């Protein structure tokens, strides 16, 4: 059994907010931001913690990193209680929260990295090796001497990720690591994180609204809604649960006549005067379908499309809070 690095049991956080009622009175109301999360994460996992706005993702991450005290429940990260043992935990985790920078605004990026070495007491050789790797993979050299306040968002994010990794943490927490980045920076950040995760010794936990992040980075998805886990599994399991279909698009020589005889192949669209047909496959294989179509007439072109993550996530966010809640594991 692999080593468990994060474990929560019935983790809860409630906020008390006061709202105005009428002209003078204020009423207090309790917001259950996280409402009983049980989560176990093993070393080396790449976990996407996703959910709609206000679901409780950031609040969970703040409790895991010792920023917020839970209202109740258990939480252990790298063997530590995050709030009570925050300083010791800090040496084992890296944190990239878009809104909170760990860099010194007025100093050149390289100076921030140097200061972090002293703060985390990283041996010089380890620090140099890790920094060299990040410089290469995240392409930092062009702006290492630039004060942080003058960096673009994409440059700063690359700096933040480097800063979070210089002490070689066991777990890296990232809250929306690609939000607001241009296409090139997004790809650079994703490729870097994918490479880091694939090595298996750093556990990645990230929140994101970007579906490409999910596809490229998250081997396991924990979906949270209204503070509770509503799905915990791999992306293929999510597709299976929502009966996501592969699609086969065929271009035919003669217009579509209306039958395939392949069970599970359903016509979803007919275009171009019947010459282009899109099938959804909920049973049978693309091969069977193509063979059946080829028997009936000439095929000009065939494309097989994987299930669309956008579809499945939209459905998941739209209808998670029913009786079929998936118990968190």
Ligand X SMILES: Nc1ncnc2c1ncn2[C@@H]1O[C@H](COP(=O)(O)OP(=O)(O)OP(=O)(O)O)[C@@H](O)[C@H]1O
Which parts of this chain interact with ligand X (CB under 6 A)?
Answer: 15, 17, 31, 33, 51, 53-59
Q: How far is the CB of 61 from ligand X (least distance, A)?
A: 8
If the CB atoms of residues 15 and 105 are measured against ligand X, the closer one turns out to be 15
Q: How far is the CB of 167 from ligand X (least distance, A)?
A: 26
Tokens 């001497």 correspond to 145
Tokens of 173: 């927490």
Q: How far is the CB of 80 from ligand X (least distance, A)?
A: 22
C-alpha 277/C-alpha 260 separation (Å) is 11
If the CB atoms of residues 19 and 87 are measured against ligand X, the closer one turns out to be 19
Tokens of 156: 């700063």
If the CB atoms of residues 16 and 87 are measured against ligand X, the closer one turns out to be 16
C-alpha 79/C-alpha 61 separation (Å) is 16
If the CB atoms of residues 56 and 82 are measured against ligand X, the closer one turns out to be 56
Please report, to the nearest 10 degrees, the dihedral formed by the alpha carbons of residues 44, 114, 175, 72 taken in order. 80
Q: How far is the CB of 212 from ligand X (least distance, A)?
A: 17
Q: Are 28 and 45 in contact (CB under 8 A)?
A: no
Q: How far is the CB of 97 from ligand X (least distance, A)?
A: 11
If the CB atoms of residues 33 and 37 are measured against ligand X, the closer one turns out to be 33
Angle, alpha carbons 118-120-124 (nearest 5°): 55
CA distances (Å), 34 to each of 12, 175, 218, 224, in order? 5, 16, 22, 9
Q: Are 188 and 158 in contact (CB under 8 A)?
A: yes
Q: How far is the CB of 26 from ligand X (least distance, A)?
A: 14
Q: Are 260 and 292 in contact (CB under 8 A)?
A: yes
C-alpha 310/C-alpha 18 separation (Å) is 37
Q: How far is the CB of 39 from ligand X (least distance, A)?
A: 14
If the CB atoms of residues 124 and 318 are measured against ligand X, the closer one turns out to be 318
Q: Are 135 and 58 in contact (CB under 8 A)?
A: no
3-state secondary structure of 321: coil
If the CB atoms of residues 29 and 325 are measured against ligand X, the closer one turns out to be 29
């Amino acid at each position: 059994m692999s080593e468990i690095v994060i474990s929560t049991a019935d983790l809860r956080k409630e906020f008390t907010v006061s709202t105005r009622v009428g002209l003078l009175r204020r009423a207090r109301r309790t917001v259950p931001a996280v409402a009983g999360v049980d989560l176990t994460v093993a070393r080396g996992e790449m976990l996407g913690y996703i959910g709609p706005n206000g679901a409780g993702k950031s609040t969970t991450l703040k409790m895991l990193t010792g920023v917020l005290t839970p209202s109740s429940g258990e939480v252990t990260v790298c063997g530590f209680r995050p709030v009570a043992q925050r300083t010791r935990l800090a040496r084992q985790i890296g944190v990239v929260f878009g809104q909170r920078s760990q860099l010194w605004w007025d100093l050149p990026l390289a100076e921030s990295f140097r200061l972090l070495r002293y703060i985390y007491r990283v041996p010089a050789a380890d620090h140099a090796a890790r920094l060299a790797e990040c410089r290469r993979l995240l392409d930092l050299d062009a702006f290492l001497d630039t004060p942080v306040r003058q960096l673009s968002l994409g440059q700063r994010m690359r700096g933040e990720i480097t800063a979070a990794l210089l002490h070689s943490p066991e777990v890296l927490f990232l809250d929306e690591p690609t939000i607001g980045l241009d296409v090139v920076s997004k790809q650079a950040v994703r490729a870097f994180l994918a490479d880091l995760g694939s090595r298996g010794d750093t556990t990645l936990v990230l929140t994101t609204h970007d579906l490409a992040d999910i596809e490229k980075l998250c081997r396991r998805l924990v979906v949270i809604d209204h503070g509770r886990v509503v799905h915990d599994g791999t992306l293929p399991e999510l597709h299976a649960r929502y009966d996501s279909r592969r699609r086969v698009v065929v271009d035919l020589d003669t217009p579509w006549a209306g039958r395939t005889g392949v069970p599970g192949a359903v016509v979803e669209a007919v275009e171009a005067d019947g010459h282009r047909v899109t099938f959804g496959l909920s049973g049978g294989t693309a091969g069977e379908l193509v063979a059946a179509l080829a028997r009936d007439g000439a095929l000009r072109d065939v494309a097989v499309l994987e299930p669309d993550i956008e579809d499945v996530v939209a459905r998941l966010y739209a209808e998670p809070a029913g009786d079929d809640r998936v118990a968190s594991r």
